[in-house]
Structure 1
Amino acid sequence: MAFFDFIIIGSGILGTFHALHAARAGKRVLVLEKDNRPVSATVRNFGQVVPSGLSGRWYQYGRRSLELYHEIQQEHDISVRKNGSVYVASDADEWQLANELYDQRRADGYPCELWSQAQTLVKYPVLRPEYVKGAVVFPEEISVEPDLMIYKLIDYVTTKYANVTYRNNAAVVGCESTASGATVQLANGERFQAQKVLICNGSEFRLLYPDLFAESGLVVSKLQMMQTVPMPEIALPGNILTGLTIRRYESFADCPSYASLKTPEHLDELKKWGIHVLFKQALDGSIIIGDSHEYATALQTDDLGFDTKDYVNQLILEEASRIVNFPVNRIQRTWAGFYAQTTQEIFEADLENIHIVTGIGGKGMTSSAGFSEETIRRLFL
């Protein structure tokens, strides 16, 4: 039976960044991916890396993650683009929150700018003037290509670090603690042993420890997203977040005036479906637009279905057309993403040399690099 210092089950963003930091710590690492390649939440998102939207320790993890993304990009192209994040306020309440977050982040020493309506429209003439009140901007933030980044990151980790072994199509069906560590067993009967095992299972709750996940309080969120045909004539650089995002993200929820925030009647139906409109232009000029949020418990994820709801997509596009003046209905594809989340920030469990981590929710792309660095220090150093 082959022995490793560290076995990681799952090669999404959390698993792969843990592999990177373990490799840097000199550990012999085995990464096991049940699918041919990661196909879940890590690739079904906007690819926006926005520490500005997080609070508490996750904001700090996000800032560290930005440093790590830049560091890796200098060595190996993982599709990082430093083009900033722009939160566009559409009314007085949102503008007040934008000003409050600007003051907080400036006090933190985090680069930020506050743009007037006129400044915002000069920078983004595709925005409708009647929508824009102003914007809070974070010029150091980045975007990545969600359908490319994780594969490029895996290539970087496995190429640079000879102490990392990567196995795809390797579904783990058993994981047990032993006196000296832990063993894992694949569906084909292969077994491996390690000093420690990390399970980064995302929203897969059936293969390992289903009873634990049934009692975990974890839920799965289903998000609907769309992508337009390429529109190279449209210039939409950066991560574009709108008034609904200001009303949703935790960094704004920490601002003084958030407690008195009221939802205007015209946003009631959007709030019901958890919609907050984001835009991110891909390398080919197409624009990703979304998203919405529906929820189910860990035991009832199938209730969310595999389809997308035309009604929800139409709500997103109607709000998008209220924000921008280009034809948002030129859609070439739609999809649903699924991620695990919890009211406790993240789900972690220690089972004697086996550590489980999931439920990072929408924070994964932004904060996984920094969070996993700390986790490896805690597990090994």
Structure 2
Amino acid sequence: MNTAFRKHLPGTDLDYFDARAAVEAIKPGAYAGLPYTSRVLAENLVRRCDPATLDASLAQLIERKRDLDFPWFPARVVCHDILGQTALVDLAGLRDAIADKGGDPAAVNPVVPVQLIVDHSLAVECGGFDPQAFEKNRAIEDRRNEDRFHFINWTKKAFKNVDVIQPGNGIMHQINLEKMSPVVHSDRGVAYPDTCVGTDSHTPHVDALGVIAIGVGGLEAENVMLGRASWMRLPEIVGVELTGKLAPNITATDLVLALTEFLRKQKVVGAYLEFHGEGARALTLGDRATISNMAPEYGATAAMFAIDQQTIDYLRLTGREEHQVKLVETYAKATGLWADSLAEAVYERTLSFDLSSVVRNMAGPSNPH
């Protein structure tokens, strides 16, 4: 963690890294034009980047250049029990190798917090008409995965920085959205944005909270676990202005199917999308999460919504501690991550989608788009 641009966060007993000051020191007035994604990446650089390369890395964001790789240090790793287990098997093997050389195997631990959610093992054998279907399916799941679950439970006890959500608690991405993401971390006296990588293509589900979360393979997740940077070049950041409002009785499913069809035609593969505008402000967090969850279907790497009152209301609805909710609001407003602070954000490409144009939609098994 660096020391330059570290300041006190008003209204709290925490510090923060002032990415605005760092950017303005290079180009006065530039921060107001940065998209949400660039602001979060800038904070990550100011806090973690090698000071010798900080200005050059920030210049990539300011000038919209793509001629230099820069480091990104996600705050946590979210895994399901297939790829996540594989990564932890590698770490267990490393412990054996350390022990064989006379070292302390307990010294091998993930550097970055790892949350492993067991939700990819269930095969439904008993139908919903059976009032005991859930209990029977869970028993079958435990029997079939006895050795795997034993290892996973061992990792929770053996490794530091590993948390395991047991099977039967729900879907990985819903748990991440409703419980796991703090939106803003407070660690060692410093507040900073939540960011994560996950071993599933639908990890962007939590982008709806303003959290940069992307799906990666097992090897990249393991790399992040060990505290190494995920190197990247500035992605294409596309602004998607949502106008109008949904007609009565139009569901989130209708919306995302229409939006997916629209975005596929706009060629947003690999881009980071930022949804904004009057229509975005009116969408509930649930609707936003449904849009973000569909990022793999329209090809985007991330589908971001900025933090606003809808975010705050959702955090309270899902039982986050009040001090954490207040921290999210205080931090977002102080650092320019609050939606109202992005009025002057400039995008390389801007798309517009009218929510009032959405009608009933259906996706078929052979033509899901």
> Greater share of strand residues, 1 or 2?
1
> Larger relative CO (CA 8 A, sep 6+): 1 or 2?
1
The TM-score bracket by the shorter chain reads: under 0.3
